[in-house]
Amino acid sequence: MVSKMKKLAAAVLSISFMIASQGAIACDDKACERAYLSSTSQYISNHGRQANTARTEREAHALNRERRDYAVQSHLHRAKQFLSSSK
């Protein structure tokens, strides 16, 4: 799973840099190029933050699932103990 995420991140970055280089070539002067590269780097950093947020949310959901499963198993175990002791 981690290697897939790394491959996806690398693909997004390489595509973004290719787009950035094509757009930078189309600029006539340094100010245009600087503005374009600045907006592109902001775009890339935003997507990096979004990817990190999505990963954190997935990890939180997985942890919550584990906690729920543990709570259910614990409840069932205590219920079995209670029922066996009440006989």
Nearest CA-CA partner of 37 in 16, 56, 59, 65? 16
Domain that holds residue 35: 2-61
Whether 33 is in a domain gets the answer yes
Report the percentage of the chain scoring pLDDT > 70.
Answer: 83
Q: Does residue 87 sit in helix, strand or coil?
A: coil
**Tally of structural domains, the chain:** 1
The residue-averaged pLDDT of 18-39 equals 71
Whether 55 is in a domain gets the answer yes
pLDDT tens by residue, 42-74: 888 899 899 999 999 999 999 999 999 999 999
Whether 43 is in a domain gets the answer yes
Whether 72 is in a domain gets the answer no
Q: How far apart are CA 87 and CA 75, in angstroms?
A: 19
Of residues 81 and 24, the one with the higher pLDDT is 81
The reported pTM is 0.47
